[in-house]
Amino acid sequence: MGQKIKRENSFDTLLNQSLDKQAHGRPTARYAGKAASRIWPRRHVRLTLSLTILLVIGLGASVWAWQNGIWFPTSSPNGLRAVLIDGLSVNNPDPSFTDNVTRTLSSVGYTVDYIGPDKFTVDTLANLPSQGYGLVIIRAHTAHSAIITSEPYTSSKYVFAQLAGHVSPATIGTPVEYFAVEAQFISSESHGRFQNSIIVLMGCGDPGDRETFGAAFADKGAGYLIGFDNSVSAQFTDSETSTLVSALAHGNTVQESVNLASNADPVYRGQFGFVVASSILQQRTVNLLSELSLFAIFFIILVFGPLSVFLVPKLLARR
């Protein structure tokens, strides 16, 4: 009986020791639970901030790309349709040029529309991208990144476009003022989109104007812009454009066609050159990535900078 009591006392001793160990372990478990509950919210915060950064960058990139034409896919020219817009005929008519271009293009299957000076208005350029032309030839005066129409100027028309500086009065050596359409008007106020079309500007220009017009027409889906890098006479531009159109009609590339029509004006030294829309869009993509990188760095500093001021001292204090 005494041995039995002794054994029970030994068993009770072991049981009590085990319970004491479990009791000492419980606060540690509670502390671990609290630590885990603190860790999870931090993970959620980091995840939320990361997703927010990605969302802001993605939305910014989408809006920028939409506004700058990168979002739209390129496509092939919309059938064999061409248009000759003839504003120069106001004071420099050339029926032989018109007949020559029309005959050349028609011989290879083009349907050619002719818009004379009596119908060459601001609305002509506003609606041009939506007409489905694969080749657009604009025989008109150009100056300071603007195309001069044959529509007499009045302050009471196109008021909002005038206030925006997208249209303005201009003269072409006559007493009458005409509406001049800025390149920005093409990219921001014209309707529809070109289908990788070739645009030929026959007026005077400079390399800067050519790049500006190239970017404006690229914004609306054009594939190429061909234009002069200096002043040209009416006779010279008609001659070189006839050569250019003939080369294009017979299957030459834009570069090959421009090379065949690369003579310089003997007086004013103007010479054809071209701008490729895809190169403009690629450069915009590079600029976009650069801007997004800077924006991401700024955003990270803006968000995590203030957080680090509060979190770093707390982390150091725990050590």
Digit-by-digit pLDDT tens for the chain (319 residues) are: 444 444 445 545 554 555 455 555 554 444 444 444 444 455 555 566 566 666 656 655 554 444 444 343 433 444 599 999 999 999 999 999 999 999 999 999 999 999 999 999 999 999 999 999 999 999 999 999 999 999 999 999 999 999 999 999 999 888 899 999 999 999 999 999 999 999 999 999 988 999 999 999 999 999 999 999 999 999 999 999 999 999 999 999 999 999 999 999 999 999 999 999 988 877 777 666 777 677 767 776 776 666 666 665 665 666 5
Owning domain of residue 240: 81-143+188-280
- The CB-side HSE value for 38 (13 A sphere, CA atoms) comes to 6
Residue 202 lies in a domain: yes
CA angle 135, 139, 143 (to 5 degrees): 115
Q: Could you tell me where the DSSP H helices lie in the chain?
A: 2-67, 95-106, 122-127, 159-163, 183-189, 207-219, 234-249, 254-260, 277-318
Regarding whether 92 and 21 lie in a shared domain, the answer is no
pTM for this entry: 0.70
Taking the alpha carbons at both ends of the chain, their separation in whole angstroms is 58
Residues 6+ apart with CB under 8 A from 190: 125, 126, 127, 128, 129, 220
Regarding whether 219 and 118 lie in a shared domain, the answer is yes
The CATH number linked to 255 is 3.40.50.1460
* Distance, C-alpha 179 to centroid of its chain: 27
| Residues present in the chain in total | 319
The total number of structural domains that make up the chain: 2
Q: What are phi and psi of 115, to 5 degrees?
A: -115, 110
Q: What are phi and psi of 181, to 5 degrees?
A: -105, 120
Residues 6+ apart with CB under 8 A from 65: 71, 288
Regarding whether 244 and 114 lie in a shared domain, the answer is yes
* Contact present, 225 and 217 (Cβ < 8 Å): yes
Regarding whether 200 and 62 lie in a shared domain, the answer is no
Residue 31 lies in a domain: yes
Regarding whether 50 and 194 lie in a shared domain, the answer is no
